[in-house]
Structure 1
Amino acid sequence: MRSRVTQVSIVLAVLSLLGVTMAGLLTGWSGTEDQASELEQRLRCPTCASVSIAESPSDTATAMRTVVAEQVAAGRTDQQIIDYFRARYGDWVLLDPPAKGQTLPLWLLPFAALAVGAVVLIFLRGRRSPEPGDDVLDPAQLERVARAVEQARAKADREEVP
């Protein structure tokens, strides 16, 4: 009885997988939707503040999404579509602009801030005063301290005795 249930379960699982596979093949799905979606995430909406055209509800973003879908359907590459929008809006339309020209300082600023911070840290660390215990006494100084401690103890012992 148990093996019959197992066999039926396996047959149903295989049929389900075949059904899903056939449905995918029959719908003619291709990667164009993914390509368009990925491009929409990379392009900035001109009327919104730092929002991709995929996320923007504006009419301009809707029109740009339509253009992206049309160009993807026409078989254009990602770079051709990006170049199309850059020709109309400039590098500003890219949410992740290339590191050249006017955008180069934006890419270099974090590294410059890190370098300045490291220099300040090194400078301040070099100027700090030595903490107690940083100095090491030489043997002669240790001997002198030991004698002074011994004398202080002897003096304290003499004063305690009535």
Structure 2
Amino acid sequence: MKILTTPDIPIATLFQNMREVYATCNVDVSWASEEVLNLPALNIVDVGTCILGSTTAEQNQLFTHRNSAGSNDIVIYFVEATDPPFNGCASHPLGMPGAVVVRTATQWTFAHEQGHVLGLNHVNDNDRLMTGNGTANITNPPPDLVASECNTMQASPITVNV
């Protein structure tokens, strides 16, 4: 984790919520490192259209700050905001898996964005973590992951069997 701005919800809570949801797929998550970054020019980061496989110059610059992260580590950058405004954005440069999560994001955005990095797409179902209607609209916390999503996460080249 890289912190440009501390999120409103404690990081430990975000992490525990993600572990709880991912456990339903037999996927465990490790918190490898944490670093505070002083990058004021990137604290409101331009994410463009936030489409996987397409990044902006600011995302490319931000994602070079991967100190202590391995090639399979997903790095989450906590920022003040994105431009345009989203709760998060999982579009990342090739070979630098990660996502941006904004300070005001919901308790499920952290897990949702990492789900994108692991290959999950939006769905039109507010009972599910990957709802495309915004994680603030999740109706049954903790949200669901279905079998096909579990299979996708487990098959991701980023997922490591231990």
TM-score, structure 2 length as denominator? 0.23
Q: With CA pairs under 8 Å and 6+ residues apart, which has the higher RCO, 1 or 2? A: 2
The structure whose residues are more often helix, as a share, is 1
The structure whose residues are more often strand, as a share, is 2
TM-score, structure 1 length as denominator? 0.23
Which is greater in Rg?
Answer: 1
